[in-house]
Amino acid sequence: MGWITFIYFTLLARARSENQTCKLIGQTGFLEFSKGGDLIIGGALPHSYCINNLPTLNPCVCRWNDRELKFARTLIFTVEEINRDTKLLPGVSLGYKLYNGCGSENLLRAAVEAVIGEDSKGCSDQIQALIGHSSSGVSEDINTILSPLSIPQVSHLSTCACLSDKRRYPTFFRTVPSDHFQILGLVQLMKYFDWRWVGIIHSEGLYSAEGTAKFHMEAKKEGICVEYTLPYSKTSQFKLKAIVKTLRESSSKVVLLFLSLSYTKSFLSKIEKYNIAGKQWIGGESWITQAVLASVKRKIILQGAMGFAFPQTDIPGLDEFLLSLKPSDEPHSTIIKAFWEKFFDCSFSPSHTTTMCTGTEDLRTVSSDYTDVTHFRAENNVYKAVYLVAYALHSLLQCKNGSNPTTGKPCVLDHIHYVNFTTQNGAMVVIDENGGSVAQYDLVNWQMKENGSVEIVKIGQYDSSYPEGEKFKLKDNLKIVWGGHSHEVPRSVCTEPCPLGTRKAIDKFKLVCCFDCFECPEGTISNQTNSPDCLICPPEFWPNEKKDNCVLKPTEYLSYKEIMGALLTGFGCVGVFLSLLTSIIFFTHKETPIVKANNSELSFLLLFSLKLCFLCSLTFIGRPTEWSCMLRHTAFGITFVLCISCVLGKTIVVLMAFSATLPASNMMKWFGPAKQRLSVLAFTLIQVIICIFWVTINPPLPKRNMKYYKEKIILECALGSAVGFCAVLGYIGLLALLCFILAFLARKLPDSFNEAKFITFSMLIFFAVWITFIPAYVSSPGKFTVAVEIFAILASSFGLLICIFFPKCYIIIFKPEQNSKKHLLGKIPPRTL
């Protein structure tokens, strides 16, 4: 087409030069409708279209286009309405010249004819602006001719976004939104219903190629992927089979049918034979409101179809104007006669096969695109286009010699940029910097009936003048019919969204909509679908079972309420009871020889310390606090030293008592009761000092241990100073070792007075318990560490209580005859007497 444009441009340039007359070379006579006036509007509105535009191979076969005739009649109606308006273009009449051409080449010739004019006065009747064309490709070629001549072109249906480039098409304007906005609306529609996996079928040509490319770009921004993009050709059976095969095998449920009206008619007529079901079809404004496409066979395809259409408007008087057309209104038009013969299946020429046309037939009895006046959508764009030119021409009344005195540019082109008006039917027209108008669309839904008819219902809208986030709106409480015989919103995704608790992993070899979902690792969560990463919970939190939320970690400590805590508490209480019972037994029998022989004062002090040992074990049970942590360790250290000191004192007393050769030896005076009490106090005071230093410098305090277990917090008492803890245990061990050595040395003293044997056994138990305590304490987790410590305290305390006191209690209660001085003295060896 480039060479044709170049030749036409050369002819026009020569024709516009000074001292040149207007002269066309080649075919002319494309003028179809005209009316004189002071100012003329041109129109490239072909009433026929070529179904095979390959003139070098076959002649172009033209067919009548009802829709374009409707556009032409709408233009005529609008001109007449403007001429009746006394405020717009006062004193100036508006005329029109509408040209028809079959095929792109003839349309360019028609445009050149419109620009140059054809009357005998030369160029005096040239048009001020051109309305049309419907096709973006043809409009592109026409504007290439008009732009150098500064003649504005206003299209009512050319939606290609490419035409917004004012550097290439400086004189192009339109009253139809750019496809850029329709694409944005379609993307928002798919985003709203979460259709992330779609297919595209498009036609050949500028309109579909640009629109498809733009959709790919905008869809990618919103995370919508295109599974396939297939071209459709009216003549290629191979491409049709490829489309059918893909539709049957593809996983996407949503198909964007981005075809012009003529291509859509061809596509549906062929695809209806293949029984393609289960798809949600999305259409462009080019065909989505064409009820003529509906049929019983196509219900399986078109039921529930959605798409954006031009807003439905009312143009008062237009319906009557269109339906009142008679051939006598345009007696010189062969097109009107041809349409009439098609509508009524008659002929204006005598024929044996058809009836004669009278010219008075009623168009209201005909069903066609032309006679469909139930609503006006694209016709409103024609209506606004004529008004746009009229308001720009109105500015001529304020210009000098047809040029703006400020810019020197032709007034129509100059002022058309600043037009802002409201038509008589209430439509607002504002032209933006790209020559387009505000984008407004109705979202429509096909709701088909059993007889194949369709009700096209408005279910939403898209308005580019609204703020972001409010441009696309869906009506509330409105029934929507879905495609694919679905009773709910169809799902169309390559991969279902990764649920909570998982993360999305993108495969670089796949589209972003096709991904893998992996469960979050231990200690992490994802609280939103399709989360790219798993979040690490804060230290004091842990994932719930579903890994979709961080919950506060449960705290663990040895409680009185749990079985283990209750058992240890019970054993501690039993120990206290037995110690108390033993004290009562000894107290009630304090005058008996066996009690006196066992140093009753130290025995009572030992029993008192054992009660404290059993009671101090209870401080280890329960929720750790600052005071309980300091108390449990210091109380344990001091009471155990008190206990061991008493045992040590009893051992020394035994050794002192039986070390003298003669019974009258006064060796006991060196370790009498006062010195015994003083030794116990001195040994215990050393432990008190150690504990004071420990608590003062670095005391045991509560600690939340989160290192041992990942899923829970261990409430424990940190030792504070490990040196202090080791010093306390070491001192207890030192006294116990000394006590064991002395008791071992006294083990062969007379049985009746020999406590040393039982002290030796108790110390052996003590050492066995605390030696095994160390590895058990280090290796036990959480609350079991505390349980091991309590067990060691209870075991060693029970060992002392049982080994030292139970044999004597047995004699006191069950063998009272042995609890006599005679019996005891009778067992003393003669050497010691």
**Bond before 133 cis per omega within 30 degrees:** yes
At residue 134 the predicted structure's pLDDT band, cuts being 50, 70 and 90, is: confident
410-419, 505-514, 699-708, 723-732: segment of lowest average pLDDT: 410-419
pLDDT score recorded for residue 799: 86
Q: Confidence class of residue 53 from pLDDT cuts 50, 70 and 90?
A: very low
**29-38, 53-62, 136-145, 586-595: least confident range:** 53-62
Greater pLDDT, 347 or 818: 347
Above 50 in pLDDT, residue 379? yes
pLDDT in tens, 167-187: 999 999 999 998 899 999 999
Give the mean pLDDT of 228-244.
93
| Dist CA 208 CA 259 (whole Å) | 6
Q: What is the mean pLDDT of residues 585-607?
A: 80
Higher pLDDT, 2 or 294: 294
**Mean pLDDT, residues 329-357 taken together:** 86
pLDDT value at residue 21: 52
The upper half-sphere exposure of residue 559, i.e. CA atoms within 13 Å in the direction of its Cβ, equals 7
DSSP output for 391-410: HHHHGGGGSBTTB-TTT-SB
Tell me the mean pLDDT in the region 134-147.
87
Tens-place pLDDT, residues 741-757 = 887 776 666 544 456 67
Reported confidence tier of residue 254, pLDDT bands at 50, 70, 90: very high
Single pTM value for the model: 0.68
% the chain with pLDDT above 90: 29
What's the pLDDT at 19?
44
Query: In terms of C-beta density within 10 A (0-12 exposed, 13-18 middle, 19 or more buried), how is residue 268 classed?
Result: buried
pLDDT for the residue numbered 354: 79
Average pLDDT of the segment spanning 12-38: 63
SS3 readout for 691-705:
HHHHHHHCCCEEEEE
Question: Mean per-residue pLDDT for 154-164?
Answer: 89
How does residue 411 score in pLDDT terms, banded at 50, 70 and 90? Answer: low
Residue 718 is inside which H or E element, if any? strand 713-718
Higher pLDDT among residues 243 and 512, named by residue: 243
Q: Of 114-123, 545-554, 773-782, which gets the smallest average pLDDT?
A: 114-123
Encode pLDDT of 499-508 as tens digits. Answer: 999 999 988 8
What is the separation, in whole angstroms, between the first and last Cα of the chain? 143
Q: What is the pLDDT of residues 560-582, one digit of tens each?
A: 888 988 999 999 999 999 989 98
- The per-residue pLDDT for range 609-667, each reduced to its tens digit, is 889 888 988 888 888 888 888 888 888 889 888 888 888 887 777 677 665 544 555 55
Q: What percent of the chain has pLDDT over 70?
A: 86
pLDDT in tens, 672-721: 677 777 888 888 899 899 999 998 888 888 888 888 788 888 888 888 88
pLDDT band at 11; cut points 50, 70, 90: very low
If you average pLDDT over every residue of the chain, what do you get?
83
Amino acid 182: pLDDT: 92
Specify the range with the lowest mean pLDDT, choosing from 495-509, 664-678, 795-809.
664-678
Q: What is the mean pLDDT of residues 526-544?
A: 90
SS3 content of the chain, % helix, strand, coil (to 5): 45, 15, 40
Q: Is residue 270 predicted with pLDDT exceeding 50?
A: yes
Q: Select, from the ranges 9-23, 35-49, 210-224, 392-406, the one with the highest average predicted confidence (pLDDT).
A: 210-224
Highest mean pLDDT among 200-209, 469-478, 816-825: 469-478
On whether the CB atoms of residues 60 and 102 are closer than 8 A, the answer is yes
Residue 788 near residue 777, CB atoms below 8 Å:
yes
Question: Under 8 Å CB-to-CB from 57, ≥6 apart: which residues?
Answer: none
Q: How confident is the model at residue 154 (pLDDT cuts 50, 70, 90)?
A: very high
